[in-house]
């Protein structure tokens, strides 16, 4: 593993896939020009609209999104995470919320989000992800990269379940991806502290691409795409607007923190 720059992309995705992919390409290009070799796109980056339309267009969305991520990785010669998009699940009428990591040589890793966001928030918004999404049934794998380190995948609501990240750290993860469309209501209180906790307790970097602003109806995201170091320090924060957070991922910093705070070696229960 070498030292390199990573970017967490922040988008304001809408129901318009053409607009969203154009915005994503522009931000990937910006990240590459700033030197990023590892780039994460947020959950729902290619489409963020009504659930019925998502299901009706799921075949198109899956095909175009997957092709986009592969094309961008090859064109810019970087490793890219497509943070979460709908992929039809057989004849079930449901989709899997799928994250896809692609390297410039065509290597890939998929993860289907296992924790679904079914909540009634105090601000009056109700979310029932399980109405259209089938939960994944497998723990996420770690993508090994000699240059970028071991990359662990997760999606949004997963961040509230520390056992998933402990699994990734036990598989040797150095970097934890948490692409999200975190709600504005919960994000203001929980987004940053949860990411810092996952990074600290697993002595890993956390790269958290995010959605921001108003999307459709009352759906609004918190923003603040961030990169967190293994000590819990916020290295970069994209704020409230569309943009990117860029920071260095350093094997020396990983080694230093894990030497000073070897909690992964002190686990009693597994």
Rounded CA gap, 248 and 252, in Å? 11
The answer to whether 229 touches 174, Cβ cutoff 8 Å, is no
Tokens of 8: 């967490």
**Given this model, what pLDDT does residue 190 score?**
97
pLDDT in tens, 73-83: 999 999 999 99
Q: Is 170 a catalytic residue?
A: no
Among candidate residues 43, 54, 112, 204, the one labeled active-site is 43
Determine whether 54 is an active site residue. no
Q: Which of 196, 184, 127 is nearest to 159 (CA)?
A: 196
Pick the CATH number of 4-266 from 2.30.30.760, 3.60.110.10, 3.40.50.2300, 3.30.470.20: 3.60.110.10
Q: Per-residue confidence at 121, pLDDT binned at 50, 70, 90?
A: confident
Spell out the residues 6+ positions from residue 238 whose beta carbon is closer than 8 angstroms to its own: 8, 10, 210, 212, 223, 224, 225, 226, 244, 245
210 forms beta bridges with: 10, 180
The catalytic residue among 37, 54, 66, 113 is 113
**What distance in Å separates the CA atoms of residue 211 and residue 178, rounded to the nearest whole number?**
12
The whole model's pTM is what? 0.97
- How is the chain split into domains, by residue range? 4-266
Q: What's the pLDDT tens digit per position in 20-32?
A: 999 999 999 999 9
Catalytic residue among 37, 54, 156, 204: 156
Q: How many CB atoms lie within 10 A of CB 45?
A: 28
113 given a catalytic annotation: yes
- Across 193-222, average pLDDT: 95
């Amino acid at each position: 593993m070498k030292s390199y720059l990573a970017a967490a992309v922040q988008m304001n995705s809408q129901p318009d896939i053409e607009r969203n992919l154009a915005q994503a390409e522009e931000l990937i290009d910006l990240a590459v020009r700033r030197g990023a070799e590892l780039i994460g796109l947020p959950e729902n980056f290619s489409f963020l609209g009504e659930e019925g339309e998502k299901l009706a267009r799921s075949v198109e969305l899956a095909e175009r999104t997957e092709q986009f991520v592969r094309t961008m990785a090859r064109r810019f010669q970087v490793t890219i995470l497509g943070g979460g998009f709908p992929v039809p699940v057989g004849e079930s009428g449901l989709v899997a919320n799928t994250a896809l990591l692609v390297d410039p040589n065509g290597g890939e890793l998929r993860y289907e989000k296992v924790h679904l966001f079914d909540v009634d928030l105090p601000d009056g918004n109700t979310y029932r992800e399980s109405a259209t999404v089938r939960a994944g049934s497998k723990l996420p794998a770690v993508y090994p990269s000699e240059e970028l380190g071991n990359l662990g995948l997760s999606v949004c609501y997963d961040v509230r379940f520390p056992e998933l990240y402990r699994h990734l750290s036990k598989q040797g993860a150095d970097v934890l991806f948490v692409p999200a469309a975190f709600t504005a209501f919960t994000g203001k209180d929980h987004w940053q502290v949860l990411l810092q906790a996952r990074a600290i307790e697993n002595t890993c970097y956390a790269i958290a691409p995010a959605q921001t602003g108003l999307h459709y109806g009352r759906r609004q995201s918190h923003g603040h795409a961030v990169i967190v170091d293994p000590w819990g320090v916020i290295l970069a924060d994209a704020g409230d607007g569309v943009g990117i957070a860029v920071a260095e991922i350093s094997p020396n910093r990983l080694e230093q923190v894990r030497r000073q705070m070897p909690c992964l070696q002190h686990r009693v229960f597994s």
